[in-house]
Amino acid sequence: MHSHAGAWEPGKTVNRQPLTVNSISMSSLDVFVDQYLNYLLVEKGLSKKTLESYSSDLTRYLNFLKSKRIKTIFDADTAAILKHLISLRNAGLGSRSRARHLVTIRGFYRFLVEEKVIKNDPTRIIDLPKSGLKLPDVLSLKEVERVLNTPDLNKPTGARDAAMIELLYAAGLRVSELVNLKLQDVNLEACFVRVFGKGSKERVVPIGLYAKEKIDFYKKTFRAKLLKNIASPYLFVARAGKPMTRQGFWKLLRKYGQKAGIIRKIKPHSLRHSFASHLLEGGADLRSVQIMLGHVDISTTQIYTHVAREHLKKMHEKFHPRK
């Protein structure tokens, strides 16, 4: 597939030169793609139409890598593939088309592993649901900013809601984690929150200055007024010093979404997904984002546990749009 000269031609032969580390620049990747397509033709017996689809998908993927100035195949990691899938979704491709793209890319990487060009397959930990690849609903940065700026900071409930929504986005929390946060779990001096996620697993997530300032303002100005002389260990309080329910927060978020002029319904998880996507799109590495989200899938946990908390903080400060 001389990827920029048109469709790949079945039957075209390519000399199988040894695939060496020195020859793995992006420009020579076209040769590997040709070899992969020949392999599919000869050994898998795929049709001309299927091979043309594979060729088109791989061309689009390589063009994406080149547009991101990724110079070698070794630099194309799992995060890069996820970003490519996000770009396909943003370009209007449906879930089935994106799923097909992932199948194509996965097959190519498996071929490179078999040929000993690369050691690890970066597509290995990307799930492909049977119904097709469904990427989560993600808000644009402008949409997120509109929602974040909607609550009235002059009202006690408005200041509380603003701090909650800002923190939800700043730390990528689950709603259950957000509403159950206690005062002792938030360290505003060091800019981090301690979260107890699924299975009571503890994680520490950095937050930026926007979240710090809104939480600080709410605590100093309005928290006591909402409590009305009632003591409560919870950071965000509703009636009688109790934490807000998940359903209560969901209704609030939906109300602010409508006020911000966002037509589709915003779900609490939308901000969590936006947090992860915006970090990835900004250049953060997948492992750091995985830890910040508190994902502990058994098959991938070992990859992530050795990333230091200090590294996470630097990643967050460098890449989060509202630091």
Q: How far apart are CA 106 and CA 211, in angstroms?
A: 39
Tokens 């040709």 — which residue?
Answer: 34
Greatest Cα pair distance, the chain, in angstroms, is 81
Is 116 a residue of the active site? Answer: no
Q: How far apart are CA 124 and CA 192, in angstroms?
A: 31
Which candidate in 16, 66, 198, 309 is catalytic? 198
Q: How many CA atoms lie within 13 A of 125 on its CB side?
A: 20
Is 36 a residue of the active site? Answer: no
Which H or E run includes 196? Answer: strand 192-196
Is 304 a residue of the active site? Answer: yes
Is 295 a residue of the active site? Answer: yes
Is 278 a residue of the active site? Answer: no
Which candidate in 110, 146, 254, 304 is catalytic? 304
Which H or E run includes 186? Answer: strand 186-187
Which candidate in 71, 269, 322, 323 is catalytic? 269
294 Cβ contact partners less than 8 Å away, ≥ 6 residues apart: 174, 177, 195, 197, 198, 201, 203, 205
CB 180 within 8 A of CB 232: no
| Angle at CA of residue 110, ends 109 and 114, nearest 5° | 120
Q: Please name the amino acid found at residue 170.
A: A
CB 59 within 8 A of CB 1: yes
Is 234 a residue of the active site? Answer: no
Which candidate in 212, 219, 223, 272 is catalytic? 272
CB 277 within 8 A of CB 284: no
Helices (H), the chain: 29-39, 48-67, 78-90, 95-114, 141-148, 156-171, 175-179, 209-221, 223-227, 246-259, 268-282, 286-293, 301-304, 309-319
Residues annotated as catalytic are 174, 198, 269, 272, 295, 304
